[in-house]
Amino acid sequence: MRSLWLERLVRYFFFLCALSAVVITIGIVVSLLGETLRFFARVSIIDFLFGLTWAPQTLPTGETSGFGAIPLFTGTALITLIAMAVALPCGTMVAIYLSEYASQTMRQIFKPVLETLAGIPTLVYGFFAVTTLGPLLRDTAEFFHLSLVSESALNAGLIMGIMILPYMSSLCEDALHSLPVALREGSMGLGATSSETILKVLLPAAFPNLMAAFLLSLSRAIGETMIVVMAAGLAANLTFNPFEAVTTVTVQIVSLLTGDQEFDNAKTLAAFGLGFVLFVLTFVLNLLALYGVKRYKRIYG
Amino acid sequence: MPLKIDVKDLNLFYGDKQALFNVSLGFPEFQTTALMGPSGCGKSSLLRCLNRLNDIIPNVHIQGKVLLDKEDIYAPSLDVVELRTHVGMVFQKPNPFPHSIYENVAYGPRIHTLFKDKTELDEIVEKNLARAGLWDEVKDRLHQPATRLSGGQQQRLCIARAIAVNPEVILMDEPCSALDPIATARVEELIDELRERFTIVIVTHNLQQAARVSQQTAFFHSGHLVEAGETGALFTMPQDERTQGYITGRYG
Q: What is the mean pLDDT of residues A104-118?
A: 88
3-state helix/strand/coil string of B23-40: EEEEEECCCEEEEECCCC
- Segments making up each domain of chain B, as ranges: 3-247
- Are the Cβ atoms of B108 and A190 closer than 8 angstroms? yes
Nearest-by-Cβ selection for A182 from B93, B98, B147: B93
A208, closest residue in chain B (CA to CA)? B98
| Gap between the Cα atoms of B8 and B27, Å rounded | 11
The C-alpha of B182 sits at a distance from chain A's nearest C-alpha, in angstroms, of 24
Q: CA geometry: angle at A94 spanning A91 and A96, to 5°?
A: 105
- Provide, as residue numbers in chain A, all residues whose Cβ is less than 8 Å from the Cβ of B162: 189-190
B152 interfacial to chain A (CB closer than 8 Å):
no
- For chain A, the residue count is 301
Span A189-220, pLDDT tens digits: 999 999 999 999 999 999 888 988 999 899 89
Q: Residue window 39-78, chain B: list those with CB within 8 Å of chain A.
A: 51, 53, 56, 58
Chain B neighbors of A300, CB-CB under 8 A:
98, 147
Band of residue A301 on the pLDDT scale cut at 50, 70, 90: very low
- Tell me which residue of A176, A165, A168 sits closest to A99, measured CA to CA: A176
Tell me the helices (H) and strands (E) count for chain B, helix number first.
Answer: 10, 10
* B200 and B47 Cβ atoms separated by less than 8 Å: no
| pLDDT tens per residue across span B121-162 | 999 999 999 989 899 999 999 999 998 999 999 999 999 999
Q: Which of A103, A185, A300 has the CB atom closest to B53's CB atom? A: A185
Which position has the higher pLDDT, B242 or A294? B242
Q: What pLDDT is stored for residue A63 in this prediction?
A: 62
Residue A54 pLDDT exceeds 90:
no
| pLDDT at residue A236, as a whole number | 82
Mutation target to probe the B interface, by most B beta carbons within 10 A, among A99, A104, A106, A190 is A190
Is residue B18 over pLDDT 80?
yes
**Nearest Cβ partner of B97 from A188, A191, A201?**
A201
Phi, psi of B174 (to 5 degrees): 45, 60
Sheet holding B216-221, edge to edge: B87-90, B169-173, B199-203, B32-36, B216-221, B224-230
pTM higher than 0.90 for the full model? no
When pLDDT is averaged across residues A250-273 and rounded to a whole number, the result is 82
b/e code A103-135 from CB counts within 10 Å (16+ = b): eeeeeeebbeebeebeeeebeebbbbbbeebbe
CA torsion angle A104 A109 A113 A114 (round to 10): -20
CA distance A106 to chain B (A): 13
Specify the amino acid at residue B198: F
Q: What CA–CA distance (Å, rounded) separates A210 from B86?
A: 34
Q: Which residues of A touch B82 (CB under 8 A)?
A: 191
Give A254: exposed, middle or buried? Use CB within 10 Å, 0-12, 13-18, 19+: middle
When CB atoms are compared, the residue of B91, B145, B165 closest to A191 is B165
> Does the pLDDT of residue A142 top 90, yes or no?
no
Q: For residues B205-229, give the mean pLDDT.
A: 92
For residue B251, the model assigns a pLDDT of 62
Closest residue in A to B94 (Cα–Cα): A182
Ranked by mean pLDDT, the top range of A52-66, A259-273, B232-246 is B232-246
> On the CB side of B162, how many CA atoms lie within 13 Å of its CA?
32
Assign domain B3-247 to its CATH architecture: 3-Layer(aba) Sandwich (3.40)
Report the pLDDT value the prediction gives residue A62, as an integer from 0 to 100: 58
B27-66 pLDDT, tens per residue?
A: 999 999 999 988 888 999 999 999 999 888 888 989 999 9
Q: What ipTM describes this predicted complex?
A: 0.89
